Amino acid sequence: MNNHIISHKKSVIDALRALNDLSGVALVLFVVNDDQRMVGTLTDGDIRRALIKGAGVNDSIETVMHRDFHYLRQGKGDDAEHIKEQKAKMMKLVPVLDADDHIVEVIDLQRFKTRLPIDAVLMAGGKGVRLRPLTEKTPKPLLEVGDKAIIDHNVDRLIDYGVRHISVTVNYLADQIIEHYREPRGGVKVECIKEPTFLGTIGAVQFVPKFYNDVVLVMNSDLLTNIDYEDFYLHFRQADADMSVAAVPYTINVPYGIFDLDGHNITGIEEKPAYNYFANAGIYLIKRHILEEIPKDTFYNATDLIETLIRQKKRVIRYPLSALWVDIGSKEEYTKAKELVKHIGSFS
């Protein structure tokens, strides 16, 4: 970050040298005054245009910098929408300022897709029975797809979306997953939470000691998907939902003519109909306070929570998932996932 910061007292030639040292990254400088408050931005294009208009290389950069610049305010609301707007304007680096306009962070939009204000919990406690003998000595989330473990595709994608608080709930062969995440991944410490007994597809969330955001993403760790988490989150927020369920389209094709009946009477026939449904993708966005509905020390699935919220008249919505999605629950799906990675490179 410091390589992008320059004093307002520096000259145009000083700025050119600083920009030259940034070769290979976003060529932008953030100008600060004597109190280290941000007062402007400067790019090589700004300098080039100023020189054409007659500026000199020894002039102060205050005479050529932009005073009307984009930034995010630390701790002020939800930045996801603003970041999306700035990406649309081709912004590559976004400074985050504190209440006194000091730069506390620079978000690299070449490295991260956004900065989502969510926590994430990946459920990784299952035994993977249908994948035996592959899972007899290796937990399913650590089976490799391409060049990395199944769960790492998901963790890396969350990190790409700026998620910094990631927990993994573990049970079966838990020590292997705990060891796997002993060191930070992509600069993020992945916290492993050991559940005392298998508590279903969402019950172990109760053991996460702390959430840092008001929205929590919960997902199965044995999925492979390139879901757009930014779009998922913004859809959830714009709907002011209590819970959003990612849903994949599922079509049943009947290879026969189907009768419409009224008692014994045939009233019509439909040839080889196709019935279209949406199936649970195992990825959820949930307002944090809703997690208090999960009963303590009780086997509890995510579908139980959905049904509870529906009874309570809470707002539960569907997010139609058009992205790639594979649920690795069988050897056939595991083979499919490995073949897909060969063609698309990576799910993350």
The CATH number given to whatever domain includes residue 52 is 3.10.580.10
- The answer to whether residue 200 sits within a structural domain is yes
Question: At which of 83, 108, 133 does a domain end?
Answer: 108
Number of domains in the chain: 2
**Adjacent-strand bridge partners of 225:** 325
| 140 shares its domain with 73 | no
Angle between helices 12-20 and 44-52 (to 10 degrees): 140
- pTM given for the model: 0.82
pLDDT of residue 50: 86
Question: At which of 50, 82, 108 does a domain end?
Answer: 108
Element (H, E) at 94: strand 93-97
pLDDT of residue 334: 83
Residue 160 has pLDDT above 60, yes or no: yes
pLDDT of residue 348: 59
| 177 shares its domain with 254 | yes
| 159 shares its domain with 85 | no
pLDDT of residue 21: 84
Give pLDDT tens digits for 15-46: 888 888 886 667 889 998 999 999 988 888 88
Number of CB atoms found within 10 A of residue 269's CB: 11
| 269 shares its domain with 290 | yes
Give pLDDT tens digits for 196-235: 888 999 999 999 999 999 999 999 999 989 999 999 999 9
| 92 shares its domain with 236 | no
CATH of the domain at 184: 3.90.550.10
| 189 shares its domain with 59 | no
pLDDT of residue 151: 94
pLDDT of residue 180: 94
| 94 shares its domain with 122 | no
| 314 shares its domain with 218 | yes
| 129 shares its domain with 12 | no
| 125 shares its domain with 274 | yes
Average pLDDT, the chain: 88
* Ordered alpha helix ranges (H), the chain: 12-20, 44-52, 80-88, 150-160, 174-180, 229-238, 302-311, 331-344
Give pLDDT tens digits for 177-198: 999 999 999 889 999 999 988 8
Question: At which of 46, 76, 108 does a domain end?
Answer: 108
Provide the pairing of β-strand 93-97 with 72-73. Answer: parallel
Residue 279 has pLDDT above 80, yes or no: yes
Residue 77 has pLDDT above 60, yes or no: no
pLDDT of residue 46: 86
| 195 shares its domain with 232 | yes
Find the domain containing 263 and state its range.
Answer: 118-344
